[in-house]
Structure 1
Amino acid sequence: MTGGAVSGGDRARALWSSTAAFTVCFAAWTIFSILGVQVKRDLGLSDFQFGLLVGTPILTGSLIRLVLGIWADQYGGRRVFALVMLAAAAATWMLSYAHDYTTFLLAALGVGIAGGSFSVGVAYVSKWYPKERQGTALGIFGAGNVGSAVTKFLAPAVMVAMGWQAVAQIWAIALAVTAVLFYVTTKDDPDLAARRARGVQAESFGAMMAPLANLQVWRFALYYFFVFGGFVALALWLPRFYVGVYGLDIVTAGMLGAAYSIPGSLFRILGGTLSDRYGARRVMYWTFIGATVCTFLLSYPATHYVVQGIRGPIEFDLTLGFLPFMLLTMALGFFMSLGKAAVYKHIPVYYPGRVGSVGGVVGLIGGLGGFILPIAFGAMNDLVGVWTSCFMLLFVIVAASLVWMHLAIRRMEKAEHPALRAPRDLPEAGALANPNPAAAPAPDGRTVAAE
């Protein structure tokens, strides 16, 4: 926040109106997690085609995040946010006229506009709060991810009672109404107001893009590829997983998918608070270590063993039951929620004047994860033939992210504190590192000649 003083009421309205608007946008953005299951049955789609359909809105929402984030910095998040919702409302209404796979894919591209609201909201909300409170504020805003749970709770019932076309039309009306309410209940952010008062023009698109040359930005993007992209991918994929593996109906599968989405959304607020209190770096370690354990356990496929015992073959099965699976996915969603907040806590601290562009590219890569991973899940199902292959892929991604983060942090610590480069564990290693063994220090501090 670089503008002048703002009232607490304006700040609160900006935060809570943005959070409510993002919740509605996210509900529309993930609408194919429910509609897609019905469309798959009606059109006889393969798992790969299903993954492409549910991932297509994620692609659109991801690709436009960078541009929308920069526009939010240049022209104000309030105006851009409202226009994004109106455009998404029109596209979602048009979805109700889709009739074959091609038209569903085209409609899905338009629905994805709703996902671009995230980078706009981050740029808008962050400018209302000082650095020491931005983690909590952005965590609250990011809890709008719970919109995916709203869709999973409500869409199956509406679809059963009124048809899938009614779901698209009701969600479109909700987007349009929310756009109007958001615009009339909020004000322009303090930075934009201060710029207008001074008559200062917004920075150019090229200047906004300058921080993207830093490798650190792309490291943050990989983190978000897992914590957000993985979250969105599972939010889309889990209903299909429950139907295929456990034989549940779509309504029950949607409810269970919501049980994953809710902690993966609401605990983002906790992640922001913890990042403000203990530091985003420490929270990222908690995230990646916890997620590594969860994905490893979820990756293990149902296996039938035959052991050649003394008295003959001994057979047994090793299978992750329904309840442990549900609890592990909820735990995974919890750790992802902490990480989503921690990643975005870094951005206004390192790039306070470029939240829109940096947050946009990080959100773009994270959103691409939500597009690529469902397709990869479907392709792996078709090619590998193992249901848990989706969690095997997530395990590889989170393990790689953890290793890269740790190596980068160690490199930064050694650059800041050169003494850390010296061996610290074995005295013998210290002696080997000493270029002048004839003048080694004695325990009492005297310099003595080596024997």
Structure 2
Amino acid sequence: MNFTAKGSPLKGLTGATLGFFFGFAAVALFGPTAKKLQVIMGISPAQVGLLVAIPALSGSLLRIPFSAWVDKDGGRKPFLILLLLALAGMTGLSALFLTRYPDNMTAELYPLILFFGFLSGCGIATFSVGISQVAYWFPQKKQGWALGTFGGLGNLAPGVFSFLLPLALSVMSLPAAYVVWSVILLTGVCVYWFTAFNAPYFQALSQGASKDEAKKSAADLYSEASRKQELFPSGGVVYTLVKSASNPYTWILVLLYFVTFGGFIALTAWFPTFWQSLYGFSVTAAGFLTAFYAVLTSLFRVPGGSFADKIGGAAASLISVAVLGAGSLIIVFTGNFALTVFGIMLMAAGMGVNNAAVFKLVPKYIPEAIGGAAGWVGGLGAFGGFVLPPVLASYVGKNGDAGYRQGFIVYALMAALAVLLILYLKKTEKRGG
């Protein structure tokens, strides 16, 4: 058949990364404003923990079905739907704040704010869709670099917005800041619409090709081996979810990703409160420190993919979680600001590299169901962003300000578990398991 494809591997990577960047900003949705909302609305620390975590709930759970959808129709349609849902949530928050903030912001509005936060978090779910979309564009030997670049640059969004939102709040009202954020998200939807395309296989299917014809057309589209599509789905949404769920490696990768990516989302939401409450920093200074952590973690993810290409995903993962554990223990046992920052830098390095290494392993261990596996790993792994802030808040509730440091023992314990899982992974590899 005569087949023409829009885009290229580089354009596919660029479009998906830009879309994810705008959608992922919702990780920082309530972090910089949680302290102010707590005072105005009179809500408890536990409710604050839930508030900053709620975008991560939708952003994690929706990754599973939407990522699996990629194996059926490609990434463009599910990606756009998630961005539009996020835009609806941001628009709802903007309207609520415009009409009720600050004098009429009562505790009765808390469930509605949670609902709009849940919708806004749909943009976070674009990650697993984008992972699958990018993976299908690239041959396996370039997976680490491509997926590390996608995740690393897209992950810059929480850091950027953690810094920009406090600055915006210093020169404009909270409602105005959220309106501007909504306009930025709308711009992101438009950018994705015009730049991102499905991998050639899915484009051939949409032009009427059979699955066999689509595979041949996609494989023959580019003469250079570095641009050829090598990965193809084996079935539809249900098949790819069941197939990947039946592979035990999927669940090892889920747990590894829970530790570092779920942990990353949790800290991006938690750090504004951490810095303000424990060290007495202003909203702007706390936003800057949170942005420093989030940007550093994201930047480490980019070379982390190439590092995993070079030494192997399992080896890169093992080194990175050990570094994460060391950093978290430093924070637990010191109240010194400089040492705390150093510990956070170690955590950022470990999280960034492991986040890239895990998705280097997805196409290797579950090549027949990348979309489904990326959904399970990205979805349940990111669920840590919802689970961990309330856990961290519980340490504060029990031990006061000292609990802000003590809560990081959770990260040390998770890092120890991750080391055991990776050693098991490497052991089964040697046996050919």
Task: Check whether TM > 0.5.
Answer: yes
Q: What is the number of equivalent residue pairs in this alignment? A: 394
Of 373, 385, 404, 1:387 maps to: 404
Paired residues of 2:65 and 2:237 also in contact (CA < 8 A):
no
Superposition pairs of residues 102-181 of structure 1, within 5 angstroms = 102-143=111-152, 144-181=154-191
Q: Which structure has the larger Rg?
A: 1
Q: What's 1:422 paired with?
A: none
Q: Tell me, what secondary structure is at the counterpart of 1:320?
A: coil
Residues 56 and 382, structure 2, Cα contact 8 Å, conserved in 1: yes
Residue 405 of structure 1 is matched in structure 2 by 422
- Give ranges in structure 1 of 5+ residues lacking alignment: 301-318, 418-451
Superposed displacement of residue 5, structure 1 = 10
The secondary structure found in structure 1 opposite 2:373 is helix
Write the letter of the residue equivalent to 2:345. M
Q: Would you say 1:227 and 2:268 are equivalent positions? A: no
Closer, same or farther in 2 for the Cα pair 1:5/1:332, shift >3 Å?
A: farther
How far does residue 191 in structure 1 lie from its aligned partner after superposition?
2.1
Query: What amino acid does structure 1 have at the position aligned with 2:209?
Result: R
Cα deviation, 1:345-404, whole Å, max 9, x if unaligned, reads 111122223221100111111211000000111112112442212211111111111112
Matched with 1:353 is 368
2:303 maps to which of 270, 277, 285? 270
Decide whether the 8 Å contact of 2:26 with 2:55 is kept in 1: no
Query: What is the one-letter code of the residue matched to 1:65?
Result: R
Aligned to 1:428: none
Q: Report which of the two has the higher share of helix.
A: 2
- Aligned mates of 2:91, 2:18 — CA distance in 1: 20
Q: Residue 244 of structure 1: CA displacement?
A: 1.0
- Aligned amino acid, residue 69 of structure 1: S
Contact between 1:88 and 1:172, CA under 8 Å: does it hold in 2?
no
The yes-or-no answer on 1:195 pairing with 2:205 is yes
Structure 1 segment 243-282 matched on structure 2, within 5 A: 243-282=276-315
C-alpha distance in structure 2 between counterparts of 1:186 and 1:223, whole Å: 29
Q: Hey, what's the Cα distance between the residues in 2 that align with 1:120 and 1:167?
A: 28
Question: C-alpha separation between the residues in 2 aligned to 1:298 and 1:5?
Answer: 55
- Whole-Å separation in 2 of the counterparts to 1:73 and 1:411: 28
C-alpha distance in 2, partners of 1:102/1:127? 39
**Is contact 2:60–2:379 with CA below 8 Å preserved after alignment?**
yes
Question: How far is 1:187 from its partner?
Answer: 2.5
How many Å separate the matches in 1 of 2:173 and 2:205? Answer: 49
CA distance in 1, matches of 2:139, 2:5: 11
Does residue 84 (structure 1) correspond to residue 82 (structure 2)? The answer is yes
Identity of aligned residues (%): 29
Q: Is 1:296 matched with 2:345?
A: no
Give the AA of the match of 2:388.
Answer: L
Question: Secondary structure of 2:404's partner?
Answer: coil
Task: Give TM-score scaled by structure 1 length.
Answer: 0.83
Partner amino acid for 1:153? F
- The DSSP-based 3-state class of the residue aligned with 2:138 is coil
Supply the distance in 2 between the matched residues of 1:380 and 1:122 (Cα, whole angstroms): 34
1:56 match = 54
Q: Residues 302-321 of structure 1 correspond to what in structure 2 (within 5 A)?
A: 319-321=334-336
Cα deviation, 1:274-303, whole Å, max 9, x if unaligned, reads 111111111011111111211122122xxx
Q: Which deviates the most, 17-26 or 166-175?
A: 166-175
Match of 2:67 among 44, 66, 69: 69
CA-CA distance at 1:6 after TM superposition: 7.3
Q: Tell whether the 8 Å contact from 1:146 to 1:266 is kept in structure 2 after alignment.
A: yes
User: 2 CA distance for matches of 1:5 and 1:129?
Assistant: 18
Q: Deviations over 1:133-178 (max 9, x none)?
A: 0111011110111101111111012123222222222222222222
Return the alpha-carbon distance in structure 1 between the equivalents of residues 93 and 62 of structure 2: 20
C-alpha RMSD of the superposition: 2.0
Match status 1:374 vs 2:407: no
Aligned residue number for residue 19 of structure 1 = 17
Q: Which moved more, 1:355-364 or 1:198-207?
A: 198-207
> Is the Cα contact below 8 Å between 1:65 and 1:364 reproduced in 2?
yes
Contact in 2 for aligned 1:79/1:183 (Cα 8 Å)? no
Q: Which amino acid aligns with 2:35?
A: V
Normalising by structure 2, we get a TM-score of: 0.87
